[in-house]
Amino acid sequence: MKTRSLLLVVITVIGIAVDQATKLFIDGSMRLYESIPVIPNFFHITYLRNRGAAFSFLSHASWRLPFFIAITIVAAIAILAAFYKLRDDQKLPQFSLAMIFSGALGNLIDRVRLGEVIDFLDVHWYSHHWPAFNVADSLICVGVTLLAIDMLQEEKRAKRQGAVAS
């Protein structure tokens, strides 16, 4: 249990530190909507602020801020509960949930501090843009992807064990 808690703390601290450091750097060194091409017509660093969730969902709702803060707190509690219910041998899900937890807290800090989230990673194909995102969003997406991969592997292991037992 101590190793698991240490894993959670280390990933959370590193994730939040990198997320907040990159956002502070962007906020301090760029003007809002300024864009720096890294790979022309594919990837730019573009300073944006998002008042909503993914794809600016609910960005104009008057109740959005308390809603997103409350949802994030509930999600963080659920993530912690799931994290501590995992078996000790479930390392990838532990790592994945710690990443998701870290990303959720990184964006929560922005919402509490600024009322919105700083985004700056702008992936696009010429004029067709994917919504801009940040390190916290990346932690959440990579964590969810790793968790899904582990769930599929766990299902395959269970089927193999079931076939062997029969």
Told to judge if 89 belongs to the known catalytic residues of this protein, a careful annotator would answer no
Partners of 43 in the beta sheet?
Answer: 39, 123
- Hey, CA dihedral for 147, 152, 155, 161, is it positive or negative? negative
Report residue 118: phi and psi, to 5°.
-85, 125
Which residue do the tokens 């969810």 mark? 144
Indicate which residue of 19, 110, 122, 137 is catalytic. 137
88-94, long-range: CB < 8 A, 24+ apart: 88/1, 88/3, 88/4, 90/150, 92/146, 92/147, 92/149, 92/150, 93/147, 93/150, 94/4, 94/7, 94/8
Told to judge if 137 belongs to the known catalytic residues of this protein, a careful annotator would answer yes
Indicate which residue of 19, 110, 119, 122 is catalytic. 119
The answer to whether the beta carbons of residues 139 and 102 sit under 8 Å apart is yes
> So which residues are the catalytic ones?
119, 137
